[in-house]
């Protein structure tokens, strides 16, 4: 047996595995393109909120001109599209239908497949998101703006980090599927604070100071408000934002790993 393998070998293998997983999952996502259009359309909450906040008689949000508000909500829409996580639903269904067992028998943690599926779905979603943004621009040309290159890159990074943190948090919740057959209900419970505190219904600046302060202690605003502000040119604590996102990730990845080990001991391979 070859006990020592140079890092380049492991890297080559990992990169081949990533390439193959991503391409097969992308092919799978293309099979569901009609469904993905519907998912993309179902994520237009920020655009609906934009309509509500643009209405007459609404109290102005500190630091937001009407034009900035349009940019913010459009940015929030884009960020939301690329931070959607559904691993708990896929895992729960796979566990109940007995599809998890074959995946567990391979020398690859099944969560890498779920991660590849999410990333492939983002790639599939991209053209539809661009089409929706173009449509908004057509109806409302003032809604478009050009983000600064630095702002765009930081927003891209923050969006992907936010996605990974959300994936880690939901993965930890997903492990509860080993204890309950309906763990996805917990995710629905988290959806309410996520919707209100993330900045999807309003920028964080619209909330009273105590609620804003509370929200900043949760991971939610860093997942939408923070990247959306970076993208739309708003003022946000950049270093703190990346630090907080990284901290939530560092907290939840080991929690998910511990629950995974404990859960496998309880796994009964139902349905298989």
Partner 1 sequence: MPIIRAEGLSKTYRVADKQPGFVGTLRHFVARRSRDVAAVREVSFTIEPGEIVGFLGPNGAGKTTTLKMLSGLIHPSAGTVEVAGCVPFRRQGRFLRQISLVMGQKQQLIWDLPPLDSLRVNAAVYGIADAEANRRITELAEMLELGDELTRPVRKLSLGERMKAELLAALLHRPAVLFLDEPTLGLDVNAQARVRRFLADINRRTGTTVLLTSHYMGDITALCPRVLLIHQGRLFFDGRLDALADRLTPCREVRLELVEPQPAAAFARFGTLEALEGRKVRLLVPQEQLTDAVARLLTTFAVLDLEVSEPPIEELIGRLFQQGVVE
Binding site for partner 1 (CB under 8 A): 13, 16-17, 19-21, 24, 27-28, 31-32, 98-99, 101-108, 264-265, 267-269, 271-272
Helices (H), the chain: 7-31, 33-42, 45-53, 66-81, 87-97, 100-104, 110-139, 149-174, 184-197, 209-216, 220-223, 225-232, 238-266
The nearest distance, CB 168 to partner 1, in angstroms, is: 22
Q: Which is nearer to partner 1, 21 or 85 (CB)?
A: 21
The nearest distance, CB 7 to partner 1, in angstroms, is: 15
Structural contact between residues 241 and 222, judged by C-beta atoms closer than 8 angstroms = yes
Q: Which is nearer to partner 1, 29 or 200 (CB)?
A: 29
Q: Which is nearer to partner 1, 31 or 67 (CB)?
A: 31
Burial of 150 (0-12, 13-18, 19+ CB in 10 A): exposed
The nearest distance, CB 19 to partner 1, in angstroms, is: 8
The nearest distance, CB 23 to partner 1, in angstroms, is: 8
Q: Which residue has the tokens 């991503």?
A: 22
Q: Which is nearer to partner 1, 17 or 134 (CB)?
A: 17
């Amino acid at each position: 047996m070859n006990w020592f393998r140079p890092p380049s070998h492991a890297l080559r293998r990992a990169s081949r595995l990533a390439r193959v997983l991503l391409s097969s999952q992308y092919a799978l996502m293309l099979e569901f393109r009609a469904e993905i259009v519907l998912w993309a359309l179902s994520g237009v909450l920020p655009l609906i909120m934009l309509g509500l906040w643009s209405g007459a008689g609404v109290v102005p949000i500190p630091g937001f001109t009407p034009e900035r508000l349009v940019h913010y909500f459009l940015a929030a829409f884009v960020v939301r599209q690329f931070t959607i996580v559904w691993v708990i639903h896929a895992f729960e269904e796979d566990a109940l239908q007995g599809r998890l067992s074959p995946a567990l028998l391979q020398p690859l943690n099944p969560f890498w497949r779920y991660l590849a599926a999410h990333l492939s779905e983002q790639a599939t979603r991209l053209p539809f998101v661009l089409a929706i943004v173009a449509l908004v621009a057509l109806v409302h040309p003032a809604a478009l703006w050009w983000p600064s290159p630095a702002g765009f890159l930081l927003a891209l990074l923050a969006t992907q980090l936010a996605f990974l943190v959300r994936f880690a948090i939901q993965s930890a919740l997903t492990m509860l599927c080993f204890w309950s057959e309906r763990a996805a209900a917990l995710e629905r419970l988290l959806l309410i604070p996520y919707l209100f505190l993330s900045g999807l219904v309003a920028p964080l600046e619209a909330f009273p100071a105590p609620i804003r302060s509370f929200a900043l202690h949760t991971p939610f605003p860093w997942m939408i408000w923070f990247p959306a502000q970076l993208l739309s040119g708003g003022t946000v604590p950049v270093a703190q934002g990346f630090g907080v996102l990284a901290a939530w990730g560092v907290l939840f990845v080991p929690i998910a790993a511990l629950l995974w080990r404990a859960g496998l001991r309880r796994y009964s391979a139902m349905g298989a």
